[in-house]
Amino acid sequence: MTTISCEDFLTGVLCALARRGWSTVPLDHNRFDIAAEAAFAVLSDIAAERGLRLGFYVLRHPVYGDSTVVQDGLARMAQWSLISFDGPKYQVVRIRMTPEFADRVMRSTGLDQAAFEPVAERFISVYENPQTA
């Protein structure tokens, strides 16, 4: 069984977004955290059949609506230069991966691209329409 960290989860989601041509993801109104929580639920559902053990949980703060785990994971991704934070208040995630580089990242980390497709689909669906969460 492979243990998946929050950084692995975010890598899989952001690589899938990069492969779809996304270059930025605004963080306004906790949409990223809402979408990450919904995507985590999909990953939780398929983890056992894919031989994955999740080493984290995505839970949003009941008052502030953000997830400390997701925010810390994004900071780590920026340290690895896979993303950067743009805008006057660092409220935009810039994905610093081409689709080709995203494929290489997924292969080099051993993450299963097929497993992350439904996870990314749910992320996109909820990100674009947070009321569906």
Give 54's strand partners: 4
Q: Please give the residue that has the higher pLDDT: either 32 or 88.
A: 32
Residue 22's pLDDT band (boundaries 50, 70, 90)?
very high
DSSP string, 75-88: HHHHHTTSEEEETT
Q: Residue holding tokens 């920026």?
A: 78
Q: How far apart are CA 9 and CA 27, in angstroms?
A: 17
Q: What is the pLDDT averaged over residues 4-29?
A: 94
The least confident of 11-15, 38-42, 109-113, 123-127 is 109-113
Q: What is the pLDDT of residues 82-132, one digit of tens each?
A: 999 997 788 899 999 999 999 999 988 888 888 899 999 999 999 999 888
Q: How far apart are CA 45 and CA 47, in angstroms?
A: 6
The model's pTM is 0.92
